[in-house]
Amino acid sequence: MELSYIINKVNESLGIDIKNKKRPREYAYGRFLFMRLAKDLNPHFTLSSIGKSIKKDHSTVLYGLQMFENILEFKQEPELINLYLELLTELKQEKTFIESGFVRTEIILKNLKPIQKYYEKPIS
């Protein structure tokens, strides 16, 4: 799943722009939420790649992930935790739908039609 898609979902849910350099709590928590969702949905992404998408470095992403772990562990922000669980469920369902074989199969079949026409011609 694309990081920009996750950013847009978090922005829509919170009504803010997490790429903004503002430092109030809602912006910081929004960035923490994005970092956790990005890592949960794309475990192969590096901390640097996640950070670049919101103009932060890898150490900031690591710190954000640790802070979100603390929030989850101590249940400090129930609204943020509920939003995280809702977005995680929603994005996993969308990811499953997008990555199902149906979409891939349709793309492959569309690309095979020109090849099929070429091979169906009689060889002279």
Give the residue, 39 or 108, on which the prediction is more confident: 39
Percent of the chain with pLDDT over 70: 77
pLDDT digits (tens, 9 = 90+) for 48-104: 999 999 999 999 999 999 999 999 999 989 999 999 999 999 998 887 555 544 455
Q: State what percent of residues in the chain have pLDDT above 90.
A: 67
Distance between CA atoms of residues 5 and 22, nearest Å: 21
Q: What is the secondary structure of 79-116 as a DSSP string?
A: HHHHHHHHHHHHHHHHHHHHHSHHHHHHHHHHHHHHHH
pLDDT at 41 over 50: yes
For residue 115, the model assigns a pLDDT of 62
pTM, to two decimals: 0.77
Neighbouring C-alpha atoms within 13 Å toward the C-beta of 67:
17
Domain 3-120 in this protein, CATH class: mainly alpha
